[in-house]
Structure 1
Amino acid sequence: MQVAFFRNLNLGQRRSPSRVQLLAAFADEGAVDVLSHQGNGTVAFRHPVGRSPQDLADAVVTRLGPLCEYDDVVLVRAVDWLRDLGLASYPDGCELTLMDGPGPFPEPLPWEPDRGEVTVLAAGARHAIVLNHRDRRSNGTPVVEWRLGVPATSRGAGTVLRLLERLER
């Protein structure tokens, strides 16, 4: 099982698909067991043998363009990889920021940028676990994009944990 994290996709809003359109795009690309989690562009799915999950998700983005003008980044991670992050062990207010970085995270951890909005508690080439310093603020994406120069997208740790729990049922 894989999870696609779409950047700047909010179901039903301008330049974003409806849930029906999103699920149909996955089905049209051969995905099965597709589950849209919340309205923020988080989708669990199984991909056909012989096709990479990232290629499938990229093809979904291509399908969505003519429907709603969506054209942004999607990052795919395996459910087991997400479980192994141990998000439940981090403090409240943390979020998972995903990116395909140019290499290992370049700062010593924990790292608090001069901007003072976040502390990066853990990180690798494909993720950062970020503690926001203000409630209900999401600063992982802009901080990681600024520091690494690559597109990123974030989800609250609670969102990811609820998805993992939902998939275990």
Structure 2
Amino acid sequence: MHVVFYRNLNLGHAGSPNREQLEGALERGGALRVRSFQTNGTVLLEADAPERVVAAAAGELGSLAGYDDAAIVRPLADLEELLALGVFEKHQSPRTYRETVTFFQGGKEPSWSTPWTNSKDDVDVLHVGDGIALSLIRKPRNSAGSPTFELERATGGVATTRTRGSIDRLLNAAAKWK
């Protein structure tokens, strides 16, 4: 099983497909099973060639809804293994607003030594490996830190972020879906 993390996709919003359009495009692209999870462009996908399914669905999503941003495909097992490392548990802080998981592709790997803190002191990147970064964000004023921004700036590629809570709920939903 795989997960597709669409960048800047919010089901039913302008420039994004609705749930039926998203799931239908992936099914017509060759997915064996599809389940859109939440509304943030996260999709559970069972397919023999998931990257090809996502690529095949891209044109339809563009014509139906005008969506043409990035989609990052990851094996579900990668997420389970990553969270099992206990990285977040080793970096508990009362200043943390959210624990986040950022998926990135294209460009280069960040050159930071981890843990790394941005200059605004609102993002701590704790772990980077194989296109995934685990971060803590803070919300010192009205806006929270953005690991997506930091990863895109460091890599020159594209990135999309989900909270750890979303990833935990995704893993629970996937276990029931199997």
TM norm. shorter chain > 0.5: yes
Are positions 1:160 and 2:157 aligned together?
A: no
- Secondary structure of the 1:130 match is strand
- 1:129-168 maps to which residues of 2 (within 5 A)? 129-134=134-139, 137=144, 139-168=146-175
| CA 1:88–1:161: 2 relative to 1, 3 Å | farther
Range moving further from structure 2, 16-25 or 91-100: 91-100
Task: Say if 1:36 and 1:43, in contact at 8 Å, map to a contact too.
Answer: yes
Which residue of 2 is the match for residue 99 of structure 1?
104
Alpha-carbon deviation of 1:94?
A: 0.9
Separation in structure 1 between the aligned mates of residue 43 and residue 80 of structure 2, nearest angstrom: 16
Which residue of 1 is the match for residue 78 of structure 2?
81
TM-score, normalised by the number of residues in structure 2: 0.86
Q: Which amino acid aligns with 1:126?
A: G
- Secondary structure of the 1:65 match is helix
Separation in structure 2 between the aligned mates of residue 125 and residue 113 of structure 1, nearest angstrom: 21
Task: Say if 1:88 and 1:161, in contact at 8 Å, map to a contact too.
Answer: no
Range moving further from structure 2, 101-110 or 32-41: 101-110
| Structure 1: 4+ residue segments shifted above 2 A | 101-105, 135-138
Q: Runs of 5+ in structure 2 lacking a partner?
A: none
Are positions 1:108 and 2:94 aligned together?
A: no
- 1:38-53 maps to which residues of 2 (within 5 A)? 38-48=38-48, 52-53=49-50
Alpha-carbon deviation of 1:58?
A: 2.1
Alpha-carbon deviation of 1:14?
A: 0.2
Separation in structure 2 between the aligned mates of residue 76 and residue 26 of structure 1, nearest angstrom: 13
Task: Say if 1:87 and 1:161, in contact at 8 Å, map to a contact too.
Answer: no
Which residue of 2 is the match for residue 7 of structure 1?
7
> 1:10-68: per-residue Cα shift (whole Å, max 9, x none)?
000000001000010011011022111000000001113xxx31222122222100101
Separation in structure 2 between the aligned mates of residue 44 and residue 138 of structure 1, nearest angstrom: 27
Q: Runs of 5+ in structure 1 lacking a partner?
A: none
Q: Which amino acid aligns with 1:23?
A: E
RMSD (Å), alpha carbons: 1.9
Which residue of 1 is the match for residue 17 of structure 2?
17
TM-score, normalised by the number of residues in structure 1: 0.91
